[in-house]
Amino acid sequence: MSLALAARDLDALESQVQAALRSGDYRDFDVLGHGEDTLVLKVRTGEGTFACKRLPPFPDYERFQRYQDTLADYVRRLRAQGITVAPTELRYLPHGRSGGVAYCVQEALPPARLCSNLLHTRDLGWAKSFFARYLTTIERAAGPTLGLDAQASNWFDLDGELVFVDVTTPFLRDSRGREQVDVDLLLTSLPWILRGAVKACLLKAATDKYYSTRGIVLDFLGNLRKDRLEPLVPVFLEQANEVLDNPLSSREVARYYAGDARMWALVQRLRKADRFWQRTVRRRPYPFLLPPAIRR
């Protein structure tokens, strides 16, 4: 499948990104959205309008190919479990001898249909019916070897169908619980000081939640706060507890969010310090597009 973003348009985007990384000025980008890690850029061409997410750099093509295979497996598994995944394509741009960069390319979907936006613009009846569909979808898909980061900002509602977009972290484990993705690769955008520690002890704890309905729902509810949607928490809790064996409480949601927010705020601060160090002391461009500060 090809989403038909022409090579020259992708090259032009990458040149623009390179210039922005050198200058630190992101104003020329048309940003569709962002998560904790990166920006999703809008590219309009004669062929259509695309959502392009720049991934952490790859040291070589082989590492890229392995990641591409894992991502393809992941999308296949999600689809087999009944999740509608937005058509997604990975594109690789070699960077001379120093590896390459890759973009995750999707069709740009209408921001008004993003579920975290719809939960603001539609009424309570819509919210409840959305969450009922959401719970069914998650329950059917999540399990010990297949997980997903299913915050409201990762779903679009297109003609009544929930469409999942955030697939660049493939939550796939083997039967012994080992992550299938090249974890080091995904952690390269973390300041080096964090990597060893994150890997050694935080990784399993940080990702376990994505492999169970309860953990996914806890993360979803906790993050409603970031989207200023807290009033919906009690409503959704009641719905969720109808299907969960081990019910959730609003205290657990609040405690979870406080912990999650603290962790991400720390990562964000360390990244900024790292960027400052690289640019002013080492005098080289910082290689990642950082999202703007997130209000928590």
C-beta of 93: minimal distance to Mg ion in Å? 23
CB 246 within 8 A of CB 240: no
For residue 7, with 0-12 CB atoms within 10 Å meaning exposed, 13-18 middle and 19 or more buried, which class applies?
exposed
Number of residues that bind ligand ADP (CB under 6 A): 20
Binding mask 134-153 for ligand ADP (x = CB under 6 A): -------------------x
Q: Does 154 bind Mg ion (CB under 5 A)?
A: yes
Q: Closer CB to Mg ion, residue 153 or residue 213?
A: 153
Site membership for ligand ADP, residue 33 (CB under 6 A):
yes
> Which of ligand ADP, Mg ion, none has residue 207 at its interface (CB below 5 to 8 Å by kind)?
none
Nearest distance, CB of residue 176 and ligand ADP, angstroms: 27
Residue 180's nearest CA partner among 284, 71, 34 is 71
38 binds ligand ADP (CB under 6 A): yes
Contacts 24+ apart (CB under 8 A), 58-63: 58/92, 58/99, 58/100, 58/101, 58/102, 58/185, 59/99, 60/99, 60/100, 61/92, 61/94, 61/99, 61/100, 63/99, 63/182, 63/185
Interface region with Mg ion, contact rule CB under 5 A, candidates 8-16, 146-154, 226-234, 259-267: 146-154
Provide the 3-class DSSP secondary structure of residue 50: strand
Strand partners, 102: 92
| Residue number with CB closer to ligand ADP (165 or 240) | 165
219 scored as a contact of Mg ion (CB under 5 A): no
DSSP 64: H
Residues pairing with 139 in the sheet:
none
* CB of 98 or CB of 110, closer to Mg ion: 110
Tell which one of 10, 40, 162, 253 touches ligand ADP (CB under 6 A): 40
Taking the C-alpha atoms of residue 2 and residue 201, their distance in angstroms, rounded to an integer, is 39
Nearer to ligand ADP, 146 or 165 (CB): 165
For the bound state, the minimum distance from the C-beta of residue 64 to ligand ADP, rounded and expressed in Å, comes to 18
Residue 157 found at the interface with Mg ion (CB under 5 A): no
Footprint on residues 157-196 left by ligand ADP (CB under 6 A)? 165-166, 168
Question: If you write DSSP's letter for every residue of 157-177 in order, what string do you get?
Answer: EETTEEEE---SS--BB-TTS
Name the amino acid, one letter, at 126.
W
Provide the binding-site residues for ligand ADP, judged by CB under 6 A: 32-38, 40, 51, 53, 86, 106, 108-109, 114, 153-154, 165-166, 168
Provide the binding-site residues for Mg ion, judged by CB under 5 A: 35, 154, 166
